[in-house]
Structure 1
């Protein structure tokens, strides 16, 4: 069965803080409701904790790191789920129930199976 990455773009906040307890509960409820098709997922710390990695000169070149995200935006990649759905239509229906879709966006992309 095909798998889809549901990439969550929402406010760039510290979701571990008590003022976000209701949203955290909403995500827990989603996880329980979608347990049959979830194959993985995680919340991400704020973009301020990110490190961007580039290799100058291509493979084997100099590794250059930058603190923070690649770009500054209103919404940031804050988490993801790996969904196993029968098709894109089902994945979109499930993505619409992810709390991040209610005040942000959820990008759904098919996952390439390299046979591993």
Structure 2
């Protein structure tokens, strides 16, 4: 059965904070209701904890790091789920129930199976 990455873009928040308890409960409810198709996933810490890595000059070049995300945007990458669904239509239906879709966006993309 094909797998799909459901990549969540929503407001930048610390999902471990007490202020996010209600939203965290919504995600727990989603995880329980979609448990049959969820194969993995994770929430991410706020973008303030990110480090962007570039290699100048290509492979073997100088490693340059920058604190924070690559670009400032209203919606940021906040987490993802790996879904195993019959087809894209089913994956879209599941993604529509992810709380991040209600005030942000969830990108659904097929996962390439390299046989590993």
TM-score interval, smaller chain: over 0.9
Match of 1:65 in 2: 65
- Equivalent positions of 1:66-105 (< 5 A) are 66-105=66-105
Unaligned stretches of 5+ residues in structure 1: none
Instruction: Report the Cα distance in structure 2 between the residues aligned to 1:85 and 1:105, rounded to whole angstroms.
Output: 19
Q: Tell me the secondary structure at the aligned position of residue 102 of structure 1.
A: helix
Instruction: Report the Cα distance in structure 1 between the residues aligned to 2:19 and 2:52, rounded to whole angstroms.
Output: 29
Residue correspondences, number: 116
Match of 1:38 in 2: 38
Residue 19 of structure 1 deviates from its aligned partner by 1.5
Instruction: Report the Cα distance in structure 2 between the residues aligned to 1:55 and 1:115, rounded to whole angstroms.
Output: 29
User: Displaced runs of 4+ in structure 1, greater than 2 A?
Assistant: none
Unaligned stretches of 5+ residues in structure 2: none
TM-score, length of structure 1 as denominator length: 0.98
Match of 2:52 in 1: 52
TM-score, length of structure 2 as denominator length: 0.98
Residue-by-residue CA offset, 1:63-94 (whole Å, 9 max, x unaligned): 11111000000110000000001111100000
Residue 16 of structure 1 deviates from its aligned partner by 1.2
Match of 2:27 in 1: 27
Instruction: Report the Cα distance in structure 1 between the residues aligned to 2:77 and 2:29, rounded to whole angstroms.
Output: 21
Match of 1:7 in 2: 7
